[in-house]
Structure 1
């Protein structure tokens, strides 16, 4: 039985896994979630009652959480690109950066987006201000760290870059990376040019009108 990915193309965490799958050309069946595919939604609910996607199904075995799915692919379906290095110290750095992008870029970005989804009277200025401040600190730290590096953890594309791609893609939409942070801006551009992530971005283009703050006319 083929791998099955239950996902939505506009979801940042789904794009994280799709980037890994496309990077190595791993065969899988895309079980898109949405109102047009209720059968996929029913199966997804049975696999993972928590209801958070993406979810990977492998011959009856369910794997949840994007970072874990990428590591699972690295373990069970390895390809030319290894997402977690075998060297344990380097692997720790990759996993740490994966957490940085998820927790300190993706999460504050999602808080800003979520605030746009509230009724005007229910919006929380403090939450948005704090989220933007966290993004500013994260941007500055990442810009300094990326000096002289091709990818997040060095010269190799890894799990950290799978996390960085959708994180920085959407974060720059809601709170633009300052012009002076040339390392970080150039890194985001390299991620967008990477064929695996570029494919995920292109597949999500039809859903841009649904982006609550309004998608910018770029990327």
Structure 2
């Protein structure tokens, strides 16, 4: 395990441990069923207490990413590899877990004045510019999703970042901002001219529209994200228990 905890970082140790575990379980060995190192070994490797480590593991178990087996250990829970409402992953993580190689067809970064919805979510004045990122992504044979993201000025992005890197990895490593909570709204839309052009579909074709409100480790708003998916390329699963 090559990951390490930065004990001088302002990011809480348990939050850093959680993000490291999220990266660790995407490795091929753990995707193939290998058990995670036991808590004693992991805590020693990361130089944190078992209590701190257990807090991180419990979060991933709660999110449905890990499953514990008595007298066996902890491993990836493959039964939850889908976009469940209680299993939030970044787009790149979702696709990697499904074995899908993603291609970026378009990437645009601009500074814009926020509309009312973005300004209200960020709790900023409408004359305060925010960074806007647009991406069209999909498989090699064509795009299937168009993303529009707005970022809170507090993060400190300047627009010159390498946004070809995984987004949340960039935010964590370069700006100590960890995405820990996502609230979403899902609806069906008919493609307008812009969406049809981006996704290579016809005007009025059905698209799945996902609005995502992302919060950092302090539960402060950090990203306002809009996603437009080709209707035949995405399944959103909700699991409820009583």
Length-normalised TM-score, structure 1: 0.24
- Give 1 or 2 for the bigger CA radius of gyration: 2
The structure in which a higher percent of residues are strand is 2
The structure in which a higher percent of residues are helix is 1
Larger RCO: 1 or 2 (CA < 8 Å, sep 6+): 1
Length-normalised TM-score, structure 2: 0.23
